Amino acid sequence: MSGRIRGGSAHRGAPRRLLLLTALALVALWAFDASSAAGATREYWIGATPTTWNVVPNGRDAITNTRYGNETILPTVTYRRYTRGWKTLLRNSPAENVDSDRIPGPLLRARVGDRILVHFKNFDTVFKRSHSMHFHGVSYKPSSDGAYLPGFSGRDGEVKPGQTWTYVLRAGPQSAGFWPYHDHSTSMHESLAGGMYGGLSILGRRERAPDREFVVVFAPTGDFQTINGHAFVGNTPVYSARVGQTVQWNVMAIGSEHHTFHVHGHRWLENGIPRDTHTVGPAESFRFRYREDAPGTWYYHCHVEDHMERGMIGVYQVRR
């Protein structure tokens, strides 16, 4: 009898201890998630900076051997990255790429749960225009919208030359992906035509960063169709990876046209369906990943044939 009582008592106590341990585990897990949800604070210092841009810096289309002169050079204003307090100018992109250091603007990286502070200063002493930064894919208050609306918007949508503004953004659960940012001030049309745009790359809360990450912005620039502000092979970015690496392509379109991204010799999955082309319209963006397994030299380009002929084509090199 005593044995059965002890056994019964032990049987009743086990679930209680199990429930207690489970509750403690759930509290710990909740605390971990709450901490993860808070995320980090990421700060960027960006300037609207005058520059002289050459759409075809080597002066030719390598495929047709067409030659170009000074008609490919234009004064403009672009987003540039700086150290804290705008003290020192930094590169926007890795030095390995063909001169894409000013267009597009710097790739702003974050993770779901992060708070993003973008400190912006208008250095436009050439055109003396107001500029701003408007961000897709993230949450913010109206004071960080960066869009000019007479009678409603504040200084965030009209940062005058010499002035500064800090945009306060939050990467929420629906922010994972690749998103555009661009000028949305009174000079938006001239700014977009001149290359004043960039992207945000936001990882999921526990998503692993890719080994290689590329940015492709399709946009008209003058009489040319460009990738990151440049036209024709030999001028557009040359991207590279190695077999076995995880590669992420970030693609977006700026302007009033639709484009179709295509990379030769590769496919990726969208909702479980294999794809090798994807169409993007104005201010649309997408990203995709794959593990590289195809060594060689490949084209990537817009598959609107007229756009490709007018410069929207580049080279992707994969090494073993």
CB atoms within 10 A of CB 100: 23
pTM: 0.86
Tens of pLDDT, residues 83-112: 999 999 998 876 555 556 789 999 999 999
Beta-sheet pairing, 197-203 with 108-111? parallel
- 199 DSSP β-pair partners: 180
What's the CA gap between 295 and 275, in Å, rounded? 19
The pLDDT-based confidence of 116 (bands split at 50, 70, 90) is very high
Stretch 280-296: mean pLDDT, rounded?
97
What's the CA gap between 207 and 219, in Å, rounded? 30
* Residue spans per domain, the chain: 1-35, 41-319
pLDDT number for residue 95: 58
What's the CA gap between 199 and 36, in Å, rounded? 24
Sign of CA dihedral 187, 106, 194, 282: negative
pLDDT number for residue 23: 41
Closest by Cα among 8, 99, 81, 87 to 42: 81
pLDDT number for residue 247: 97
What's the CA gap between 132 and 122, in Å, rounded? 8
Both tokens of 259, joined, read: 């484009």
Judged on CB neighbours under 10 Å (0-12, 13-18, 19+), 58 is middle
What's the CA gap between 113 and 135, in Å, rounded? 16
Tens of pLDDT, residues 32-80: 333 345 789 999 999 999 999 999 999 999 999 999 999 999 999 999 9
Among 2.60.40.1260, 2.60.40.420, 2.40.240.10, 3.40.50.150, name the CATH number for the domain at 41-319. 2.60.40.420
Is 279 a residue whose pLDDT tops 60? yes
The pLDDT-based confidence of 312 (bands split at 50, 70, 90) is very high
What's the CA gap between 39 and 32, in Å, rounded? 11
pLDDT number for residue 38: 73
pLDDT number for residue 209: 97
Is 169 a residue whose pLDDT tops 50? yes
pLDDT number for residue 25: 40
Stretch 245-251: mean pLDDT, rounded?
97
Tens of pLDDT, residues 128-157: 999 999 999 999 999 999 999 998 889 999
What's the CA gap between 125 and 288, in Å, rounded? 39
Average pLDDT of every residue of the chain: 89
Q: Which residue has the tokens 């992420």?
A: 248
What's the CA gap between 298 and 292, in Å, rounded? 13
Beta-sheet pairing, 41-54 with 73-82? antiparallel
Helix-then-strand count for the chain, H and E: 3, 21
pLDDT number for residue 33: 39
Tens of pLDDT, residues 209-239: 999 999 999 999 999 999 999 999 999 999 9
